[in-house]
Amino acid sequence: MTITPLTQLPDTDWLRMRQALWPEGSAQEHLDEMGEFLSQPTRFGQFMARSAAGEALGFVEVAVRTDYVNGTASSPVGFLEGVYVEPAARRQGVARALIRAAAAWARAQGCAELASDTLLDNTQSQAVHRCLGFVETERVVYFALQLQG
């Protein structure tokens, strides 16, 4: 397996996997965001895992966040924006290799921590995070109030 940075568009494997991870977004919305990430290489990093035969196995996206990140003690913080591994490639170390690449990229950007989040009911993601060495720091429920006029 090799891990390589994603540095240009179009990349059909990256787009396909993003759509699998975040199906609510249109192809154009994904492409716009991917282009934004590629245009800011010190703020966003993205990596693809490929098999020895060149088959796409998974991807990771990481960002540098300078605002407060829940559960962290430093700034800037590397933030795991998304990770996806093809179902047939799961439980084979792909996610671990992708997280290592994301962590190395974040360290190179001056970050001392790598943070992440997931929904409260996404117990599978929580289990994967723990297996990859992440430690749960807090749980949060967000609220909003619509302001009139």
Q: Give the class (CATH, top level) of 2-131.
A: alpha beta
- Predicted TM-score (pTM) above 0.75: yes
Enumerate the domain spans of the chain.
2-131
Residue 141 confidence (pLDDT)? 86
Pairing between β-strand 44-50 and β-strand 56-65 as defined by DSSP bridges: antiparallel
CB atoms within 10 A of CB 35: 11
Residue 92, amino acid = Q
Residue 104 confidence (pLDDT)? 98
Q: How far apart are the first and last CA of the chain?
A: 56
Instruction: Tell me the C-alpha distance between 66 and 87, whole Å.
Output: 33
The residue-averaged pLDDT of 3-14 equals 95
The three-state secondary structure class of 35 is: helix
Confidence of residue 142 (pLDDT cuts 50, 70, 90): confident
More confident residue, 21 or 141: 21
Residue 54 confidence (pLDDT)? 96
